[in-house]
Structure 1
Amino acid sequence: MPQGGAIAMPYETLNLTTTAPVLSWANHELGSQEIKMAKNVASLPFVFKHVALMPDVHLGKGALVGSVIATQDAIIPAAVGVDIGCGMCAIKTPFTATQLEGKLKKIRQDIEAVIPVGFNENKTVEKTVSNWQRWADFKQLHPGIQDLQVKAMRQMGSLGGGNHFIEICLDTEDQVWVMLHSGSRNIGNKLAQCHISTGKELAKLANNKLPDPDLAYFVAGTPEFDAYWHDLQWAQNYARVNREVMMARVQRIVEQYLAGGKLTKPLLSVNCHHNYAEKETHYGEAVYVTRKGAVRARAGDYGIIPGSMGAKSYIVQGKGNAESYCSCSHGAGRLMSRTKAKGVYSLDDLIQQTEGVECRKDAGVLDEIPGAYKPIEQVMANQADLVEVVATLKQVVCIKG
């Protein structure tokens, strides 16, 4: 059991015959496909100690979204995923709710005008982006992406699509927050695909019988491992800076409307990945920790756990729970696929479920309807031993990718 005092919802050890146990904070029965995916990962010989499943766990590619996988001397590119470094950024501003009155639509329109969404990119490259020191390393990245530097530069400071978003929120004290969700854009996707392909080719050549081809891995000390690890760190840095560039733009817009353009300092800033891998020490051993849809939650670490475009979100601090590899969930987690959501819900449902939020209310975002996600309150209750809530937020403006 997790260390510390009394807990609301401890994990359970799944009844599986695997090399490593699987600990789940989901507090619900996993489906047959989810069980199979968990077994596949936990059966790999290099998995360390156990696999941890977060409360928002659901199907992914190769590994479950919402899983934390510690490995010794190996890394699985598809477990990290194709949106390397995807994560969240939030700032607590010095402004209050009354200052927003009558300005929400204009703020939303101005944000949409300066931050490209979907597949779009910036028309010009701003100085903050062109001055990023890590562009000097671009030529050392995988040969398969060498013609993408200009695109990567133009996409830095862009949101992307799917469940990526920018929100203006209020906390329970009516303080204004800005929050956004994005990752490493096309360049991270392409880098991931290149290395995933290499991993699968190596597995075939070695006649390595994997439970799932998407669990192809690299062994530490090999050129392939070193190349992937180098590119992974670069893409994770890109993702973090991408969020910083967008946040600076949104902050300036908010300042224009709420402070007459006067520069302000955030009262709190958080920027955290939830699709990434790092080398960490757990149980006294140096291991590679892959968080696929999970946030690092060491004691005192700030994290962000968003709901959906009509639900609450949470700023949290980690409790350093060892069994979770000091991790927590990255959101509510999908309850149904995008296709199913479009079949189940109507535009009227979307309008009803996003009442009071200044946002798009059209067929293009129907798959992001709040009803397609798990109830965020339950997800939070299931990880009371992993994090404590610092602030509870509710959006008043939402821009979807």
Structure 2
Amino acid sequence: MANETLTGKDLLALGFPEGKAIGVTLKLLQAHFAATPLEEQLLLLAQVLANPAEYLAHPVLADLAEALTAPKAPGIIPLHDAPIPFTTYGVEGIESGAKRQMVTAMRLPVAVAGALMPDAHQGYGLPIGGVLATRNAIIPYAVGVDIGCRMCLTLYPAPATLITEQRDQLKKILVDNTRFGRATFQKPQEHAVIDRAEFMEIPVLRGLKDRAFSQLGSSGGGNHFVEFGAVTLSDAQNEFGLPVGEYLGILSHSGSRGLGAQIAGHYTKLAMAQTPLPQEARHLAWLDLDTEAGQEYWLAMNLAGDYASACHHQIHARLAQALALEPLALVENHHNFAWRELDAQGREVIVHRKGATPAGLGVLGIIPGSMTAPGFIVRGRGVAASVNSASHGAGRQMSRTQAQNTLSPALVQQHLQAAGIDLIGSGLDEAPMAYKDIHQVMAAQQELVDVVGTFTPKIVRMCGNEKYLEGE
């Protein structure tokens, strides 16, 4: 060999992999083997290349051996050429970006079924309103950032007219007993979910326990809310055993707070490293459920879902105590989650519902409208084409930025007054006009759910200004 020193090309010809190992080798040769004949260098390198594990403890060659035994980064995983067929409900009201995202999701190698709900709009990875069933794979961004975000409704043995009769008292009850965004209770109530073993057994959760406890019983920002409203039960065969008619109700919408966001961020990075996908699908990277990371995420996701539920239960317990009323019934459902379910052939699939409500046969849920439109208590009909799902709400027709740039406080206030709504907090991005018509959304999915009753908001509490208490 004419070269006085070995080069990267020489190492590639010897069989070295491209990457770190070549750089490590060249530095090692220069530092320790500059005076060694080239033939002896090549013989030594060939021996290390053939059995790198034998040199992991070598005083000089250990770094090279480690570089050769390090896991190789996987190459880009190709998508299928054509998407698996899926059903779209309310297609005329869904933006093109959400449709494209769903098509991309249905080209994943792990995808087996899917559906797009009528409230769908574009998000990260799977569109909000997207349902995706996979085989033995969990996709953190198909679950979403606010893991286990849910609706919770309680009905009380009081007439809905109480809202009109005691409106000021109920406003104060909402402000005194709810917290939103960064505001938390000075003394959070204890709950068994904080003592769960996962907080110590899963590394990423160990530093999140204290924050989770401090936020327990509070709600997030954005579209999260707690509302007093009128519940109208219209189905005499309702599961609550209650007469048809009107009841005082409390409806809440919130998720897993900072806990869910941290879990989503951590495991999305792991998934993107383990299953790199083409650019348009990169946020749909998955974790194999047979891997340690996949099992960790599954446990962490379920913990976040249980934490979100605990927050809702504490919200409703505080309000029930302030009202001095015992609830007659509770309905609770969640989205931004993944479930183990069986497909039509009896095989297990992982069903991701990102902004979609479980609607299996006989399953109860709540589909809210906007702060000036009714929500619906529904019973699922178990339609296979929808992967046993329905919408999780009305869905946005304006982005947050669009709403902030096009709507005015005066216009929103006029809209609220016309609907008889008292609003505490919120911003233009959550104005009712930013949302689709819930009646059109429900019409598009009438084959998916039966309506058991409605919830009409009257006093709405969201993250934001509370100066009304000072008479402003």
Q: What range is the shorter-chain TM-score in?
A: 0.7 to 0.9
Q: Secondary structure, in 3 states, of the residue corresponding to 1:308? A: coil
State the partner residue of 1:7: none
Deviations 1:135-184 (A, max 9, x none): 3331123x234222111011110011000000111134332111000110
Deviations 1:66-124 (A, max 9, x none): 01100001111111011000010001111102333342222122222222111222211
1:219 corresponds to 2:281: no
1:86 corresponds to 2:149: yes
Corresponding letter in the other structure for 2:456: K
1:373 corresponds to 2:435: yes
Which of 381, 384, 387 is the equivalent residue of 2:449? 387
Given that 1:105 and 1:358 are in contact with CA atoms closer than 8 Å, whether structure 2 keeps it comes out as: no
State the partner residue of 2:388: 326
- Structure 2, unaligned runs of 5 or more: 1-79, 233-244, 464-472
- Give the deviation of 1:30 after TM superposition: 4.2
| Greater Cα shift, 238-247 or 112-121 | 112-121
1:25 corresponds to 2:85: no
CA change 1:78–1:246 in 2 (3 A) is: same
State the partner residue of 1:237: 306
1:308 corresponds to 2:380: no
State percent identity of aligned pairs. Answer: 36
State the partner residue of 1:148: 208
User: Larger % of helix: which?
Assistant: 2
Which of 337, 343, 351 is the equivalent residue of 1:282? 343
CA change 1:306–1:145 in 2 (3 A) is: same
Which of 267, 271, 284 is the equivalent residue of 1:195? 267
Once residues 289 and 437 of structure 2 are traced to their aligned partners in structure 1, the CA distance between those partners, rounded to angstroms, is 40
Deviations 1:248-289 (A, max 9, x none): 112222x2xxxxx3x42x332111111100101121221000
Q: Secondary structure, in 3 states, of the residue corresponding to 1:170? A: strand
Report the aligned-residue RMSD: 1.8
Once residues 279 and 313 of structure 2 are traced to their aligned partners in structure 1, the CA distance between those partners, rounded to angstroms, is 39
Corresponding letter in the other structure for 2:297: Y
Q: Secondary structure, in 3 states, of the residue corresponding to 1:96? A: coil
Q: Secondary structure, in 3 states, of the residue corresponding to 1:303? A: strand
State the partner residue of 1:116: 179
- Give the deviation of 1:223 after TM superposition: 1.2
- The count of aligned residue pairs is 369
State the partner residue of 2:330: 269
Once residues 133 and 338 of structure 1 are traced to their aligned partners in structure 2, the CA distance between those partners, rounded to angstroms, is 33
Instruction: Give the number of the structure whose alpha-carbon radius of gyration is greater.
Output: 2
Once residues 336 and 59 of structure 1 are traced to their aligned partners in structure 2, the CA distance between those partners, rounded to angstroms, is 11
What are the within-5 Å matches in structure 2 for residues 17-166 of structure 1? 18-28=82-92, 30-48=94-112, 50-127=113-190, 129=191, 131-132=192-193, 134-141=195-202, 143-166=203-226
1:185 corresponds to 2:185: no
- Give the deviation of 1:225 after TM superposition: 0.8
| TM-score w.r.t. length of structure 1 | 0.88
Deviations 1:18-54 (A, max 9, x none): 3311210123164442232112101001111x32001
User: Larger % of strand: which?
Assistant: 1
Q: Larger relative CO (CA 8 A, sep 6+): 1 or 2?
A: 1
State the partner residue of 1:292: 354
CA change 1:78–1:144 in 2 (3 A) is: same
State the partner residue of 2:421: 357
Once residues 134 and 25 of structure 1 are traced to their aligned partners in structure 2, the CA distance between those partners, rounded to angstroms, is 42
- Structure 1, unaligned runs of 5 or more: 1-15, 256-260
